[in-house]
């Protein structure tokens, strides 16, 4: 709420810690406070709670955080493009944790209240617990592999075909592939290890409920895919898009929306919770993968196998080889639609 006066309150947290809550509207925030206190107690009971203070910022949107990151990037002398990249995608996240691995005595969680309300998350205790448990698991699950992954970068290049023709919708395809390479390879170890850590700590039910919510009651992304298909049909009819280009963009949208669930199912399996892994996978096939391109299902299975193969102590060479192998099925799939790209990973 633009121009709102911030309301501040303090609450006890596990291990004698403190929860500082800053909101622009305190309606319904009690559920979030209770969920945070429970998450802290569970992690502390496992000897896994390093924070003396957690700052919980609950605002209508995450724009204050986005603005802060952009200012910080400029202060460091980075370009506008890098500053924008640092904040990109945050407005689509229900909450984000900011922490310093060198000093975990304090951390901050920013909550996007309006988005959570739209998604039906705001008044669901178990969902709130799952979200907070996942966010806190990120620094707690840090290991050799995630430290190496922070240095990893992906580069996509279009390969010229034998007749010299460019791939359909080159710019849009390359942008979509770059996004997939980051999420499914570069950032994937952070997500997989965080999810696994949270499941092992006792948050299996909460994380399963969170994932189940994302796949049921029309949330599986099929409506958004249908809207994209309609827009692409108009583009093709107007001569601004090719049939192959439209098919490629739809396939990449399916991979992004559905194959990425391997980040979740593999974590349950890694933690030894095979029943939830199978149940979530069955739901994924029922609600989404059975209704989109078969390639998306194939890539899901290959990603699942890759994430199971992650080890917590991978060095630079091992992670580089892992990322290259993990992304290869995607470039193979799009080559069948006439798009030829090479993906390279580097430090």
Q: Which of 81-95, 106-120, 179-193, 198-212 has the lowest mean pLDDT?
A: 81-95
Residue range 58-84: mean pLDDT, rounded: 68
CA angle 256, 262, 265 (to 5 degrees): 140
- Domain-embedded: residue 236: yes
**C-alpha span between 220 and 284 (Å, rounded):** 8
Same domain, 121 and 179: no
List all residues 6 or more positions away from 238 whose beta carbon is below 8 Å from its beta carbon: none
Does residue 345 contact residue 182 with C-beta atoms inside 8 Å? no
Same domain, 119 and 165: no
Residue range 143-151: mean pLDDT, rounded: 97
Same domain, 262 and 174: yes
33-36 long-range contacts, CB within 8 A, separation 24+: 34/125, 35/125, 35/128, 35/129, 35/132, 36/109, 36/132
Residue range 282-307: mean pLDDT, rounded: 97
- Domain-embedded: residue 60: yes
| Confidence tier at 161 by pLDDT (50, 70, 90) | low
Question: End-to-end alpha-carbon separation of the chain, Å?
Answer: 41
pLDDT of 20 above 50: yes
| Confidence tier at 73 by pLDDT (50, 70, 90) | low
pLDDT of 302 above 90: yes
Same domain, 126 and 173: no
Same domain, 77 and 170: no
Residue range 70-80: mean pLDDT, rounded: 57
pLDDT of 168 above 70: no
- Give percent above pLDDT 70 in the chain: 90
- Domain-embedded: residue 2: no
| Nearest one of 336, 153, 347 to 247, comparing CA atoms | 336
Cα 312 vs. chain centroid, distance in angstroms?
A: 19
Residues β-bridged to residue 317: none
**pLDDT of 66:** 83
pLDDT of 29 above 60: yes
Of 140, 163, 187, the one marking the end of a domain is: 140
Q: Cβ atoms within 10 A of the Cβ of 68, count?
A: 14
**Backbone phi, psi, residue 112, to 5°:** -95, 90
- Give percent above pLDDT 90 in the chain: 78
**C-alpha span between 66 and 74 (Å, rounded):** 13
Of 140, 156, 190, the one marking the end of a domain is: 140
pLDDT tens figures, 182-232 = 999 999 999 999 999 999 999 999 999 999 999 998 888 899 999 999 999
Same domain, 174 and 86: no
pLDDT tens figures, 30-47 = 999 999 999 999 999 999
Does residue 50 contact residue 43 with C-beta atoms inside 8 Å? no
Segments forming the whole domain that contains residue 82: 7-140
Same domain, 99 and 248: no
SS3 297: helix
- Domain-embedded: residue 12: yes
**C-alpha span between 299 and 57 (Å, rounded):** 37
SS3 48: coil
**C-alpha span between 28 and 278 (Å, rounded):** 34
Same domain, 192 and 300: yes
- Domain-embedded: residue 1: no
**pLDDT of 92:** 85
Average pLDDT, the chain: 91
| Confidence tier at 153 by pLDDT (50, 70, 90) | very high
pLDDT of 82 above 50: no
**pLDDT of 150:** 96
pLDDT of 85 above 50: no
| Confidence tier at 111 by pLDDT (50, 70, 90) | very high
Residue range 122-128: mean pLDDT, rounded: 97
Same domain, 113 and 201: no
Indicate the number of domains in the chain.
2
Same domain, 102 and 151: no
Same domain, 333 and 259: yes
Of 89, 122, 140, the one marking the end of a domain is: 140
Same domain, 111 and 170: no
pTM (predicted TM-score): 0.91
- Domain-embedded: residue 127: yes
Tell whether the torsion through CA atoms of 122, 126, 130 and 135 is positive or negative.
positive
CA angle 128, 260, 33 (to 5 degrees): 10
List all residues 6 or more positions away from 66 whose beta carbon is below 8 Å from its beta carbon: 87, 90, 91
């Amino acid at each position: 709420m633009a121009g709102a006066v911030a309301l501040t309150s303090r609450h006890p947290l596990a291990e004698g810690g403190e929860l500082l809550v800053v909101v622009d509207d305190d309606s319904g925030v009690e559920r979030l406070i209770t969920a945070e206190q429970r998450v802290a107690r569970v992690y502390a009971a496992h000897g896994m709670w390093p924070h003396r203070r957690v700052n919980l910022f609950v605002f209508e949107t995450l724009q204050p955080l986005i603005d802060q990151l952009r200012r910080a990037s400029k202060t460091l002398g980075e370009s506008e493009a890098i500053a924008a990249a640092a904040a990109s995608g945050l407005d689509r996240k229900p909450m984000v944790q900011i922490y310093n691995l060198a000093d975990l005595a304090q951390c901050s969680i920013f909550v996007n209240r309006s988005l959570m309300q739209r998604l039906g998350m705001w008044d669901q205790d178990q969902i709130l617990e799952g979200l907070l448990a996942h966010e806190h698991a990120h620094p707690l699950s840090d290991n050799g592999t995630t430290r190496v992954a922070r240095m990893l970068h992906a580069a996509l290049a279009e390969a010229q075909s034998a007749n010299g023709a460019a791939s359909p919708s080159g710019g849009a395809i390359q942008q979509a592939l770059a996004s997939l390479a980051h999420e499914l390879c570069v950032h994937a170890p952070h997500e997989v290890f965080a999810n696994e850590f949270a499941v092992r700590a006792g948050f299996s039910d909460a994380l399963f409920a969170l994932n189940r919510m994302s796949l049921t009651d029309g949330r599986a992304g099929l409506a958004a895919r249908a809207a994209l298909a309609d827009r692409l049909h108009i583009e093709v009819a107007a001569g601004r898009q090719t049939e192959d280009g439209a098919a490629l963009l739809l396939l990449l949208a399916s991979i992004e929306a559905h194959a990425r669930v391997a980040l979740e199912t593999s974590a349950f399996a890694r933690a030894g919770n095979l029943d939830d892994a199978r149940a979530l996978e069955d739901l994924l096939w029922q609600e989404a993968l059975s209704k989109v391109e078969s390639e998306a299902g194939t890539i899901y299975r290959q990603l699942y196998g890759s994430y199971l193969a992650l080890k917590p102590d991978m060095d630079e060479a091992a992670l580089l080889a892992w990322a290259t192998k993990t992304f290869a099925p995607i470039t193979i799939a799009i080559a069948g639609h006439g798009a030829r790209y090479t993906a390279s990973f580097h430090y």
